[in-house]
Amino acid sequence: MTSHPGRRHRPGPGPAGPPRPARDPAPPEDDDSAAAAASQAGTDPAAGRLAYSVEEAARLTGLSRDLLYDQMRRGNLSYIKVGRRRLITRQHLNQFLGIAS
């Protein structure tokens, strides 16, 4: 091995050392802090919103995404379209589930 002035020698890969601990995920930002606090408290921050995506409505109701899309296609579950998105309002969910508002 020749020595070069100003360069340091880096050893090649050696035996594996102890496993490194996994990095913690980035701390929640201001927008996510309410969601993080709600998830720790066991509540869903989306529960108070006016409208939900199909995925959020499925999570809130415990129903599958496919079932909700099927019910929308059959006309049993109303929704609104905003651009290409389908949004389901709380009133739509209440009506579909037969909950008196």
pTM for the full model? 0.54
What are the CA-CA distances from residue 85 to residues 37, 51, 58, 71, 91 (Å)? 28, 11, 15, 16, 18
pLDDT per position as a tens digit, 36-58: 444 444 566 666 789 999 999 99
For residues 72-79, give the mean pLDDT: 96
For residues 92-100, give the mean pLDDT: 89
Three-state secondary-structure class, residue 5: coil
Query: What is the per-residue pLDDT for 49?
Result: 87
The angle at the Cα of 70, spanning 90 to 48, to the nearest 5 degrees, equals 15
- Number of structural domains (the chain) is 1
Residue 61: inside a domain, yes or no?
yes
Q: Tell me, what CATH number does 53's domain have?
A: 1.10.10
Residue 62: inside a domain, yes or no?
yes
What range does the domain containing 57 cover? 49-101
For residues 2-12, give the mean pLDDT: 63
Residue 86: inside a domain, yes or no?
yes
d(C-alpha 9, C-alpha 87), whole Å:
60
Residue 40: inside a domain, yes or no?
no
pLDDT per position as a tens digit, 14-36: 566 666 666 655 544 444 444 44
